Chains A and B, each alone.
Chain A
């Protein structure tokens, strides 16, 4: 219960921000917060609060797994730092690169294979898996 008190502001922001399937559990001195965020802005806000309560995420007492999902056929923007995004044959960095999506390019999400890898298609027709951290649902 002590950890829930420490992260009260974060839990309330998740509830207030419309996070679906929200679960808050404490196990072996770690707090686990899971759910589906309705937008990237809500997720970013939760991480800003987390970083405020525990600067630079040093305490190791929270696992914050609140992610934004994109429906099949929806659009997502490539939000790499500045480089192109690799499109791979399969879901993994050990898979061969079959194409690239440019920084800021808008692509179509075909399938969310798992939390990390999404199957996408570019307007030029390149199709394959990209690391979802570099996609922002539109």
Chain B
């Protein structure tokens, strides 16, 4: 009698285990296919942003800031950092010139008068 119960218990455990295994299998399959979909969409819509070299940025920044005597600019790894002073009515014009140079980002630490 005891032996039969034991065998039944083993059989139930085994069945439960195999069910679980099947469930996991299906899950990972689904996850795998949705990952593939996401990758496809990304490659279709996103081209990397073009960032200018530091040499080209340095030349561009020199030209752009030439008529702004109070403004100092440094270029490092694509980032342009502005310090010094500027009048508020000229800030937008300077920023327009700098944004067109394809920098990675612009840090505006200018004191605005």
Interface pair A116/B107, CB less than 8 Å apart: no
Interface pair A63/B66, CB less than 8 Å apart: no
Per-residue 0/1 for A102-121: is the Cβ within 8 Å of any B Cβ (1 yes, 0 no)? 00000000000001110000
Q: Which of B63-113 contact A (CB under 8 A)?
A: 63-64, 66, 88, 90-93, 95-97, 99-108, 112
Q: Which of A32, A43, A117 contacts B49 (CB 8 A)?
A: A32
Interface pair B105/A63, CB less than 8 Å apart: yes
Chain B residue nearest to A58 (CB atoms) is: B108
Closest chain-B Cβ to A70's Cβ sits at a distance in Å of 14
Interface pair A56/B97, CB less than 8 Å apart: no
Inter-chain CA distance A102–B99, complex, in Å, is 26
A25 at the interface (CB under 8 A from B): yes
Give how many B residues have a beta carbon under 8 Å from the other chain's beta carbons. 29
Decide: A116 near B100, CB < 8 A? Known: A25-B49, A27-B48, A27-B49.
yes
B28 at the interface (CB under 8 A from A): no
Interface pair B108/A57, CB less than 8 Å apart: yes
Interface pair A60/B49, CB less than 8 Å apart: no
Chain A residue nearest to B91 (CB atoms) is: A56
A53 at the interface (CB under 8 A from B): no
Q: Which of B48, B93, B102, B108 contacts A60 (CB 8 A)?
A: B108
Q: Which of A65, A92, A133 contacts B102 (CB 8 A)?
A: A65
Chain A residue nearest to B79 (CB atoms) is: A60
Decide: A56 near B59, CB < 8 A? Known: A32-B49, A47-B96, A133-B96.
no
Which residues of B sit under 8 angstroms from A63, Cβ to Cβ? 49, 99, 102-106
Closest chain-B Cβ to A101's Cβ sits at a distance in Å of 15
Q: Which of A25, A47, A60 contacts B107 (CB 8 A)?
A: A60
Decide: A131 near B107, CB < 8 A? Known: A56-B91, A65-B100.
no
Which residues of B sit under 8 angstroms from A65, Cβ to Cβ? 99-100, 102
Interface pair A57/B60, CB less than 8 Å apart: no
Residues in chain A within 8 A of chain B (CB atoms): 23, 25, 27-28, 30, 32, 43, 47, 51, 56-58, 60-61, 63-65, 67, 81, 92-93, 115-117, 131, 133
